[in-house]
Amino acid sequence: MLYRIISLLYVCASFVLAQCPVGSVPNRQSRDLADRTHVIECIRRSDGLLVLPDFPGPLISTNYNFAPISRSTPMKGGAAFTLNVSPCPEGVNGTNTNHWLYLQDSTGVSEAVLITGGTCTSGKPVGTIVFTPANSHTGAWTIASATAGIQEASYVGSNVYVPAGTYTVSTISPPAAFNLECAGQKLTVLKPRADASSIFSFIGPDKVMMWDVSNCGFDGTDFADLNTVKGFSVLNNRYAGFYHVQSHASFRHLTFNNVYWAFYLDRADRISIQDITAYNNTTTYIGSSDPLSISFDTRVSGYHHNSIDSGPGSVSPWPAGTHGLIVVENAIGTIIDGFENGGAATNVYGIWIKGWVEAALVSNSTIVATAAGIKLDKVGSRAPTWTRISNTHIDSCLTIACIDLNGAALTQITGSMLSQTGLYKLPGVYIHNTAYGTTIGGNIFQAFVTHSIHAAAGTSQLGVFSNYFQNAIGATGIYLAAGTSRYSVTGNHWESTTAAVAIEDAAVDGYSEIRDNRLPDGTSRVEQTRTVQRYNWTNEGMEIGSLSMPGQNIYDHHTSGNNIDYDTRVLYAGGDGTIGSGSITVYASALTTVGQNVNTLATGTAPFVVASTTPVNNLTGQLLARNAAGIQQTNARSVYGTCTLGTNCVVTFAGASAWTAANSYVCTATDQTAAQPVKVVNTSNSVVTFTGTGTDVVAYACFGS
């Protein structure tokens, strides 16, 4: 077996060595992404210069950093200048109008100049280069590569290698097919000149871009205006609407320091960003600045940001609410996986998703000490839709909320942990501006002073389920403001809560439910979840209890603020299987009604039973009257008064005093002036006549129905 292994190694080594010319040895291997061929880079043993094989291989950028061309012909600023060269440097063509060269004169005036024309082609013996300097130059001057040979190498071959070193460059604009690899993130560092709006730039009208850039470092610390410098700018500014840079680009193993936009990807599709480290005032933009256009399918995986509080140039903080460490705008299918930041950014959002963004995914990320960990922003009528946030930890939200849903639609938050350290009185999830379709499930909320979840007025279609609330302190755990509609709060669990209310429902929505939420004792009884549950149903109803097993149902209410079983209780029990046969018992010190009490119980059964014999002020009842057969007479009553004989002793019964008939009542009369008899005649149901002696005063009492 050992013999076979040694033989195999010998064959492989012979094959590799055979790829290099005589007198050279293999130096490094790589793959050309343009044609997918495996290539071997060789160097001479004697002087170390690259020997290129006959098949495509990486070009060493420094080999194309041509020697400065010296001249002394005066140049006038703002006027086109034609430079005669012999030979034309490799990688320099008069037709490459995105190609910068670096001009420096003996007086110290230097500038980058853009090629605007000329007859030169790469390596041609004689040709011209046309450019227009911004400044006038007299005396001796030189012109050289403005990009340390990187731009020139990209025009010779699509596969470029940048050796270790620190290079100050103007903007590099490689062709659409381009593969760049550096010696290492800390070994190869590219720094922008003051004239560079970006280090690498790709601008339409080319609609297909195939870049692969890896193992490089970028440092904008010395840049004059850190508000503008970009690491990679991919922009389609030559097309409107849905014309994009159709990219198949990959950026891997890169480091950025003080580069305002590490990536500025405007209307560029299918970009892959992997294993990025960003230091200090460095951010990334993904999407489209045109609200009528959409960017597609960018993936960010493994993005570490060591953020700091200061803003561009470490001069002043970023203006509040103006920036995010990663900004996603007007984009579909953006994936951010494995993002983390390592320092405070008080005024900056961790991930800011705004405008017409669909199907974005944020997962496996850690966001600490930002204004909002993740902010979803509605811009005009365009709102982020179908955003998923999963397996993400957001801690110490400083200004707004850990997750701020401003008008967002159909957002899903699952499997994440939201926590607060210190006493920042900010919610975990803040849902507002008519956000709808939010589901929050299977998350952990820890140590929130204010609401862990706050649904503001206008929130609708909200599901909060199976979340775990730990060490909640202060205010309400879940707050549903008045105007919230169509929500379900189910199966949530609280541990070690000192919150005044676990769930506060001020919305009073009849299409919603709050149930099966548990506090530490494991019960879901209303008084121990301390839930305010109110329903405002129209032509609907609510049923509680089992249809197969007997039992009691209890509604307990806490109003005193004391730790007791209940202040008032309503107990539902009993029943014999017929409708309305159960009983309701109210445990309260007083029962007050503000309207009329109506009882429809049929005659023969008392409408209520009172055990106390203590008289009740202002309580009147019907006179009990029976006939000789013992039958109770309905509507029995009595009428009494006095009259003076000969004056007003023909008494008329008006209104409710009138009787059913002349024979349905009897009257008795007493002469109160003298002991004289008084005659009583029931003239009709409404008139009775008393006669007697003289003008004596008669007292009478009538009884009947």
pLDDT in tens, 223-234: 655 556 778 877
If we measure between CA atoms, which residue out of 173, 170, 172, 214 comes closest to residue 192?
170
Contact 289, 331 (CB under 8 A): no
pLDDT score, position 265: 87
pLDDT in tens, 645-678: 988 999 999 988 899 899 989 999 999 999 999 9
pLDDT in tens, 536-583: 445 556 677 777 778 888 888 888 888 888 999 998 999 988 998 899
Rounded to whole angstroms, what are the CA distances from 260 to 213, 231, 358, 487?
A: 19, 8, 26, 42
* 342: helix, strand or coil: coil
pLDDT score, position 538: 56
DSSP letter assigned to residue 314: G
pLDDT score, position 302: 94
Three-class SS of 581-643: CCEEEEECCCCCCCCCCCCCCCCCCCCCCCCCCCCCCCCCCCCCCECCCCCECCCCEEEEEEE
Q: What is the pTM of this model?
A: 0.69
pLDDT at 436 over 60: yes
Q: How far apart are CA 483 and CA 478, in angstroms?
A: 15
pLDDT in tens, 440-461: 999 999 878 778 899 999 999 9
DSSP letter assigned to residue 517: -
Contact 345, 325 (CB under 8 A): yes
pLDDT in tens, 178-210: 899 999 999 999 999 888 888 988 876 545 678
Strand ranges inside 434-593, DSSP E: 436-441, 444-446, 453-455, 460-465, 468-470, 478-480, 485-490, 493-495, 503-505, 513-515, 553-557, 568-573, 583-587
pLDDT at 529 over 70: no
Max mean pLDDT range (15-19, 475-479, 534-538, 586-590): 586-590
pLDDT score, position 367: 93
Q: How far apart are CA 494 and CA 93, in angstroms?
A: 70
